[in-house]
Structure 1
Amino acid sequence: MRKYSITILFWTLAFGISVQMLAQPLPQLIDSALLQQPELMALEKEYQAALERAPQVSQLPNPEVGVGGFPLPVETRLGPQLLRLGATQGFPWPGTLPRRAELENTKAKALYEQIAARALELRYELEQAYYQLYAIEKRQDILRRNLPLLESLEATALAKVESGKGSTADVLRVQIRREELQQELAILEREALKPLATINRLLQRRPATKIQMVDELGPAQLPFRQDSLLVAIRRTHPKLRQLSWQQEAARQALRLNELDGKPSFGLGADYIFVGPRNDANLNANGRDIVQLRASVSLPIYREKFEAKEREEQLKIAALDNQKQDLNHRFEATIAQAYADFETARLRLELYERQRRLTQSAIAILQEAYSTQGRSFDELLRLESELIEYDLKRLNAVVAGHLAVAKIDQLLFNQNAK
């Protein structure tokens, strides 16, 4: 069987990581994770070990060599038999040995697909953690960005109190809100450790190693055509290909079972040392004996072959069911991902409009509060809403990218784009 080129870099290239993208943090992390992943390296070694099975099963049985003596020599006309040397070589039915090698190579191909399937899963796991970490860090940025606004509002409220035109309660409400944001920042610092640890685990680094995140994620783009996406997945997904190779292995096992059910043969020869007779002077006195042998092994007990055939047929049927289940799962995943992407897009549009309107309302109320001391409660509420819209917009952006990553994890290559 042709040996595949097994380098983890192949997977990164197959996943469509272009030269231009390597300058970006996330593709660099994916590249490093797949190159250094011990789990993928272990699967690669298992595949290489599986390739070594074919030479083991495609050889002829070991020849048998025997020696025999005669404590009571058998007398022949030409003399007594003293020693027997024999050798026998067995031969299976023609075509059996190549079929065994082909079966083992097919099993190895199924294991080969497992490497690609696991690489897809690891890539998606890293992308999830990366977007989670991005969301946490950007949430912190939003909260920090709004702290000066609250401080400015607090200073305005204090000035109003000092001038006798405001209430101390206004100052306290701003301070309470500011403390809430500071506490939320402290909580987010702890939350960031979880996705960070996941990323560093996949990169084989210490859990607290810092990650250089992208400055700003724009709205996600969905470059896949939904109508051809499932067709591409059915053709290229490693898990489906693995099941197909397992089915092929079962079919080859059926063909091998037929060959195993046919007779096998043996050829041998014996050389017998004969001692000379002392009581007669004969032509060829003491001449040794050469005996040629042939044997046939008849597999007349058929139940094991019939049971093996039933076993492999059941395997093929079971694998068909698994493929149907996987196809249904993939179809559902695609539908969910597209729904998530569209929901994220609509929410992003909504939150951007609401944010612009809220900013305009805040500007009006700030002017009114500064000059007349009115509408403080409404101003504080709108400041809080502005923060919420920023956070919701961030969540919508991240949700869109996660939806694309969910689809991308099903594609071994990018032909469906």
Structure 2
Amino acid sequence: MRPAQSKKRQNQLKRHLLAASLVAASSVGCSMPARQRSPLAVNRDASPTEQAPLSIAADAVAPGVVDSPVSVGNQEVQPVVYNDNVVLAAPTFSALLAAVDEEETGEDKDDDENNKKSDSKSDDAQSDEAAATVPPPVVGAQQPVEYFLSIALTQHPQIAAARQRVAAATYVIPQVTALPDPVFTNQFWPIQDQALQTAGGRVGHQMALSQGVPWPEKLRTKGAIASREVQMAQAEVDRIEREITESVRLAYYEVWFADRAIEIIEETRDLIEDLTKVAEARYRSGGTQQDVLRAQLESDRLDDQLVVLTRQKEVAQANLATLLQQPISLLPQATKELGLTNVPEQLDALVNLAEQCNPELRGLTWEIQRDRQKEKLACLQKYPDLQVGLNYSIINDNVNVISPVANGHDNISFTVGTTLPIWRDKINAGIREAAFRRSSTTERLEAQRDSIYGRLRGLLAEADALVEQTEIYEDRIVPRTEDTLKLAIADYRGKRTDFFTLIETYRQLLAYETQLARFKASLAGTVAKIDRTVGCP
């Protein structure tokens, strides 16, 4: 078995060499560029699945030879550069692969087949596990608005991007609170007869290690500034979440209104069919055909309204699906119950809640505190920064030494330095700049507070009006119109009124019921706007 294993390892080594001769992936980030790496560097310990994919850009231009040919067996592989990617192209590469494949034994092929089967099983298991973590989409199922809100707050890319900005801002704190990098220098004299001479002998090297030490309060202030910026980024996350929540609720209420309007049309269609039958019966008993035609015309008008409402519903569903990051085929459905909560009534209570919860106000508050820390940092520029260092000199007393008492003892010295903040005009200008920025942010906070106060007053007045209109339509107008329509139908059957009066009453009922649904949807949307303005989750 050992010769077979050795032969197998040799074949694998050949394939690794051929794969390495095809491509060397260009580096990214802080790693060494691809032009500086050797095209033959191969990680022999890595498995074949860890190697880079063998691919050549289709738009590669301007090939150029960058190194001498590489010999693999009896063939030569020529290194060529394609857009910063090193490729080793061989004219008979397919023949080389065929030769290596012919050397593989049947046992190796069986092992490969077994490995492929095991890999496919593991891939299937991983795919099943990933599928289990994602809830299956429900097509056509009616869901409350809270269900769609949970999806949007979890999957919306704007929220994810804002959270990533918060995570990025947290890593600024250790950067600004750390000391600057130390500096190492080495001064040497390659020509001995021109080197620096001391009583102890000739100086060969003078090495120095220095470290800048800012005023301690400066680093703490920079850390406080970075912390405030993290809190500002978190306030931005909350603002985007409130904005997405409002958009989802408004889109959901539009879907609900379209469903309710379509339901009203469907209910009215049965009434029109009954009126058509009554008109046909009167026509057969000697009445006019005009009533039958008017009834049929009303049925056609309902069909037209149904088309308009269906299109309106599809648009609202598309808007809601866009906010939920759902495919076009999965159109969300609203429940029959709107689930409208109580409308807030006290303006002062809303303003107090907005002072505590509104993300925009909280973000500006954190920004003011950040500007205060920046003003403090500008004042700290009056204090000097320190510079400490260690010097080490290597002394030689062997050759070309002038001093007769040279002993070759190395020298160690320490240095302490400081900056001189003497340019007061520059420092004072920085302080005034920070003060004006803080004052500007304070005024922006006051303006935003007034804007929120005015917005809440307008939304609360709108909500109160919608509540009153909803109660009037729901308790008085719609029931009375229904009673009027019932009487009109009875009078028409008894030939005590004409068909025109009956149709007008029917149209009023249809308009009132549709308007009532619009009032409810608008009221729910106004409450959503109030919640977004207040900002509390």
Tell me the residue number matched to 2:532.
Answer: 409
In structure 1, C-alpha distance between the alignment counterparts of 2:500 and 2:293, rounded to whole Å: 12
Q: 1:375 to 1:80 in 2, by over 3 A?
A: same
Q: Structure 2 CA distance, aligned partners of 1:114 and 1:410?
A: 14
Partner of 1:249: 370
Listed one character per residue, the Cα deviations across residues 315-344 of structure 1 (whole Å, up to 9, x for unaligned) are: 222222222222122112211222222211
Following TM superposition, by how much is the alpha carbon of 1:76 offset from its aligned partner in structure 2, in angstroms?
A: 2.3
Q: CA deviation at 1:384?
A: 0.7
The alignment's TM-score, normalised by the length of structure 2, stands at 0.69
- The answer to which structure, 1 or 2, has the higher relative contact order (CA under 8 A, 6+ apart) is 1
Q: Indicate whether 1:212 and 2:333 are aligned.
A: yes
> Is it true that 1:151 corresponds to 2:276 in the alignment?
no
Q: In structure 1, what is the equivalent of residue 433 of structure 2? A: 311
Q: Secondary structure at the match of 1:222?
A: coil
| SS of aligned partner of 2:333 | coil
**Aligned equivalent of 1:163, options 285, 288, 301:** 285
Instruction: Report the Cα distance in structure 1 between the residues aligned to 2:479 and 2:469, rounded to whole angstroms.
Output: 14
Asked if 1:289 corresponds to 2:411, the answer is yes
Alignment partner of 2:235 out of 110, 113, 124: 113
Find 1:187's aligned residue among 304, 308, 326: 308
How far, CA to CA, are the matches of 1:89 and 1:167 in structure 2? 106
Q: Distance in 2 between matches of 1:344 and 1:292?
A: 80
Q: Which runs of 5+ in 2 are unaligned?
A: 1-141
Give the deviation of 1:131 after TM superposition. Answer: 0.6
Say whether the 8 Å CA contact 1:193–1:208 is kept in structure 2. Answer: no
SS at match of 2:291: helix
Contact residue 201 and residue 406 of structure 2 kept, 8 A? no
Distance in 2 between residues matched to 1:302 and 1:291, nearest whole Å? 33
Helix, strand or coil at the partner of 1:269: strand
Structure 1 runs, 4 residues or longer, greater than 4 Å off: 277-284
CA distance in 2, matches of 1:209, 1:81: 81
Residue of structure 2 equivalent to 1:380: 503
Corresponding residue for residue 335 of structure 1: 457
The higher radius of gyration belongs to: 2
% identity of equivalent residues: 25
Range with bigger deviation, 335-344 or 237-246: 335-344
> For residue 77 of structure 1, what is the amino acid of its counterpart?
A
Of stretches 392-401 and 131-140 in structure 1, the one that deviates more from structure 2 is 392-401
Alignment TM-score, normalising by the size of structure 1: 0.88
Aligned AA (1:379): L
Quick check: 1:220–1:397 contact (8 Å CA) kept in 2? no
Deviation, 1:219, is 6.3
* Partner SS for 1:90: strand
Give yes or no for contact 1:218–1:397 (8 Å, CA) kept in 2: no
Indicate yes or no: 2:518 matched with 1:399: no
Task: Answer with 365-374 or 275-284: which moved more.
Answer: 275-284
Aligned-pair Cα RMSD in Å: 2.1
Distance 1:331 1:38 in 2: 30
Give SS of 1:410's match: helix
Segment drifting more, 195-204 vs 315-324: 315-324
C-alpha contact 1:359 1:386 (8 A) present in aligned 2: yes
- Go from structure 1 to structure 2 and tell me whether the alpha carbon gap of 1:271 and 1:349 turns closer, same or farther (over 3 Å shift): closer
Over 3 Å counting, the alpha-carbon distance change for 1:208 and 1:347 in structure 2 is: farther
Cα distance, 1:60–1:370 mapped onto 2, change above 3 Å: same
Match of 2:46 in 1: none
Q: Is the 1:348–1:396 contact (alpha carbons within 8 Å) kept by the matching residues of 2? A: yes
Higher deviation after alignment, 216-225 or 263-272: 216-225
Which of 258, 274, 293 is the matching residue for 1:172?
A: 293
Asked whether the 8 Å contact 2:159–2:241 carries over to 1, the reply is yes
Secondary structure of the structure 1 residue equivalent to 2:178: coil
Q: 1:90 to 1:219 in 2, by over 3 A?
A: closer
* Matched-pair contact (CA < 8 Å) for 1:266–1:294: yes
Residues matched between the structures, number = 391
Higher deviation after alignment, 81-90 or 132-141: 81-90
Greater CA drift, 56-65 or 360-369: 360-369
Q: What residue is the counterpart of 1:19 in the other structure?
A: none
TM-fit CA distance, 1:220 = 5.2
Does residue 344 of structure 1 match 2:461? Answer: no
Q: Are 2:337 and 1:222 equivalent residues in the alignment? A: no
Q: Gapped runs of 5+ residues in structure 1?
A: 1-22
Q: Which amino acid aligns with 2:359?
A: P
